Amino acid sequence: MPGSATTERTVPPAAAPKLNAVVDEHLRWLAQWHRAAFFAAEAGVKGPDGLPMPTGFLDWVQTVKAGDLTHQPAVDRLVTLHEQMHRMARLLLMRSVEGEPPNLAAYEAVIAKFDEFMAQLRRFERAFSVAGSGIDPLTGLRNRTGLEEELAREMNRFRRTGRPFCVALCDLDRFKTVNDTYGHEAGDRVLVATAGVINRAIRSFDEAFRLGGEEILILLKDTVLDEVRRVLERLRTDIAGNPVQLADGRVIKVTASFGVAEARLDLAADALMEAADQALYAAKREGRNRVVAAA
């Protein structure tokens, strides 16, 4: 899809159980590290590498990356946090083995880093749980789970009753630049804010799905193309009129492009999606921050 910084990714089934093992393994490691750091001689620790490193986390990372996990930058940040924690813990242990009593500030820094790491692991556990229910854990929109079934249901209803519906694709303009300039946490804020605008703008029986990255599909039921274009124009204006403020006070102006297609009897569901996608490409080519309907 145009402008996507991240594509839809799937969580491998083995990822969530392995994460439980990672948590347990690191709790055991922390207890061993405490004994080694304060009682190195009695614990029989001969050097900074005398304490076995937990391996479960690196195995988990390999599992999720092999499965192309959703929101992979978050995994990369967790890897960095893990490396920092163990580097700090090894340094304190090295000094303890050499006879230098643990420094309180250094000790508290390791514990703080450990707490941060564990909190992020718990966040991933919750995200897996929510993702399994069909809800995107970041935005609260529905994820791809159920999209095919929902689209097929609308298509069948349209063919049976003639009641129209439309599919719209929304893509945030220059979203990769937001991530590159302000960081992925800022990108997350933009996604959450945009999802909020969309949820407020659509009717209760319409559906919005986060497809991956910054792309959102909106299924607008019981309505024709002209009406949907007016809805999307209001939505486009609302997104542009609600800049996102970051924690440090900086403000990001956000715009979005839309491609929309109306169901037709001669279009299968995948062809309808492709028509909306091509309209989205046209909106990007024509300058972004606009709504384009499929021909």
- Residue 216: Cβ-neighbour burial (10 angstroms; 0-12, 13-18, 19+): buried
Q: How far apart (Å, rounded) are the C-alpha atoms in residues 34 and 143?
A: 42
Q: How far apart (Å, rounded) are the C-alpha atoms in residues 281 and 262?
A: 17
Question: What is the longest distance spanned by two Cα atoms in the chain?
Answer: 82
Residue 116 known to be catalytic: no
Tokens in use for 89? 């813990």
Tokens in use for 273? 């999606």
Length reported for the chain:
295
Which residue is catalytic, options 154, 207, 214, 262? 214
Q: How far apart (Å, rounded) are the C-alpha atoms in residues 237 and 230?
A: 11
Count of CB atoms situated within 10 Å of the CB of 112: 12
Tokens in use for 93? 């242990």
Count of CB atoms situated within 10 Å of the CB of 178: 23
Q: Which residues are tagged catalytic?
A: 214
